[in-house]
Structure 1
Amino acid sequence: MKKLLLTTLGVTCFFVITACSGDQENDESTIVEVNETQITEAEFIGELKDGFGEQVLNEMVQNTIINDKAEQFEINSDRVEEEFQSFKEDYGVEDDEQLLTLLQSQFQLPVESVDDFKNDVLKPQLVISEIAEADVEITEEAKQEYYENNKEELESVSARHILVEDEQTAEEVKTKLDDGQDFAELAEEYSTDGSASQGGELGSFNRGQMVEPFENTAFSLETGEVSDPVETQHGFHIIEVLEKKESFEALERDIEESLKEEQAKPAEEVLQNLMDEANINIEESSYEDWLQT
């Protein structure tokens, strides 16, 4: 699974829902005093309600519908865990702390724990995908044709690197690697970028995602091969290719996912259909205009 459905539920206003879910009995208590002016909890929550209430209410309703569908499709903790492990594998992430850093920095997801990610992102995504792809049929002929037409774009490399500032240091590191020293340990010691703490691992990438000298070298190496120092605008890289996916067999799963994405219903359409089909009763008339049914 390479792409996150960032339109899925429970993400954009997760922090707001958390903030609004406190004990309502203490609404009139002062939480901040500014220049002798008191700000009460009721005022604070009122501001959140005015600013984000409509969006949060709709997300809460959608979450309820999604959870009901998850039960119907038997999307249980085992299926979510399987998707979770697949996500970690695709992005070359081993431990939970690395995963949370990736989600917060690269995907800008306000998730504070792995459980949040599983429940608020992966589970809704599985439900939406189940519905969106229900009528999709992928033939062997379609997969082969897609492979032939998109071979270069589909090819991917999984690699790690050691990035240093000057060529002399790069040559020193390369000599140590040739002498049998551990790549990951040297990356932690020498590398100047954020991948150092992960042993230099960069995960998997396609053509066009890296700067040209780096990309050209990475795609020219064989699996397990380590490059000589490669200069880019970032410094000098020593690259090791961990895995290459070039054949139809190696890329078949990615091809199926791409074809499914092309043929599946848009996530927004799925959500709207679920809202239309749900039995939603607005008990408090003041919220009638809030719910986007």
Structure 2
Amino acid sequence: MMKKIVQGLAIGGFAIVLTACQSDDSETVVETEYGSISKEEFHAELEEKYGEETLQSMTKKLVLEGQFDIDQEEFEQEVEQFKTQLGPQFTKFINQQGYRNEEEFRTALYISKLEFEAATADIEITDEEIETHYERMQEERKARHILVDEKETAEEIIKKYKDGASFEELAKEYSKDGSAANGGDLGYTTAGEMVKPFEDAMYGLETNEISEPVESQFGWHVILVEDVRESETEVQPFDEMKDQLREQLLASKVDSQSYTSKVQEALDNGNIDISDDDYEGLFGSNKSGESESTDDEGDSSNEDNGKQDSEEAKDDSESDNE
């Protein structure tokens, strides 16, 4: 979640400034010996620099709030959790990420939570899945893996291993993952640290057992479990972690493409009509000015042209997920 917030819109404060400037544009804001600056000039400058981002943020918040609910008490707790975790470094951290103040950070966090609700609204997580995830967290597994592009290649690797080849040497020869140089060694990992197909396969193996080919968004994996041990990290009681685990599982079930598509679908449901030509197309195809005969065409281009922020749902590198 931290990474996602960092990538959020850091312009909440500008919306307030722009709104305030509209009250009396003829009023002078600054006077000097060499001239003055009116609110109208100030507003025009702000709109030129931040208008598109601000309008996008305000509209997204308006439309998504109309469809999804964010528990305000939980939201406040999450903000406080960030502040507690970072301590005296909180202000420095948000400034480094481009936020001028806590209010801008809160805006980005709030919008990211609305987007997450939109992206995962139709995904169901059962109590059994949560309990299984919690049980897996009680142990760590030392694994090696080989990542290739084709299932046939993965099957060839498995055959060579069963015929006596070294897994480490096979990893160095075949794997396209960064761990190849270390013989595919991933060290000890636990639940929630791998993409879900990989995790499910890994937890289904006994010590020194090799997997069948496992497909993920990165390609085809061959997994070897070398050791199983109790988790060295203390795990909180189940009741205290249940909601957190549910959110983790939701995140694991949505990839970047579907995440972006679902958010765009929710925005399309808002029937956004931008009357200012300067911002036409900000949310895909603008409905303003379209004739009835092109409605279907416009709807389809919304899905194609409105995709943005595609990396918010996953880490940037494969090594973060594998």
| Length-normalised TM-score, structure 2 | 0.46
| Length-normalised TM-score, structure 1 | 0.50
